[in-house]
Amino acid sequence: MSRSLYYKSDELWRRFKDICKAEGKSVSKVLGDFIDNYLIGYVDPTIPSLYTYFDPQPNTIDAVQRRISILALARAEKLGGDITYREIRKMYEVEIPTTDTRNAVVRRTAKWLKTQGIKVWQ
């Protein structure tokens, strides 16, 4: 499957490919990771999640989010229906080291937990 991509100039595209190569990463992987991270922070109730239709690939951010959300729900229910943002953030700390991405996933998890009747404390 091929996709088209717009970029500002051939020079920028060449530099991007050179940097990816120097870091030992594939261009597709870098762009794919960027797209995954971009979508994480994007929550629009009119646009269903990609994973409404199929399960996320293992070890993707969506798979980690799904797994930890269930763990956070179980923990909150065990503790009487409450959990803190700090506890949720701690659960993601090892698996999602990037702060911005982790914070976005924590917000989404907290939002989901609230729909499950859990009180999420600041």
What whole-number distance in Å separates Cα of residue 102 and Cα of residue 88? 10
Q: What pLDDT, on a 0 to 100 scale, did the predictor assign at position 86?
A: 95
Buried/exposed 60-74: b ≥16 CB within 10 Å, e otherwise: ebbebbeebbeebbe
> Whose CA is closest to 83, among 95, 73, 70?
73
Beta bridge partners of 83: 120
Tell me the pLDDT tens digit for each residue of 38-81: 766 555 545 555 555 556 666 678 788 888 999 999 999 998 99
Burial 26-41 (b: 16+ CB within 10 A, else e): eeeeeeeeeebbeebe
Distance in angstroms (rounded) separating the CA atoms of residues 24 and 21: 5
Spatial CB neighbours of 17, under 8 Å, sequence gap ≥ 6: 27
pLDDT in tens, 10-23: 898 999 999 999 99
What is the predicted pLDDT for the residue at 42? 57
User: Nearest-CA neighbor of 76 among 67, 66, 85, 63?
Assistant: 85
Read off the pTM: 0.57
pLDDT range class, residue 95, cuts 50, 70, 90: confident
107 pLDDT higher than 60: yes
Residue 36: pLDDT band by 50, 70, 90 thresholds? confident
Sorted by where each begins, the domain ranges of the chain are: 9-40, 51-121
DSSP 12-52: HHHHHHHHHHHTT--HHHHHHHHHHHHHHT---TTS--GGG
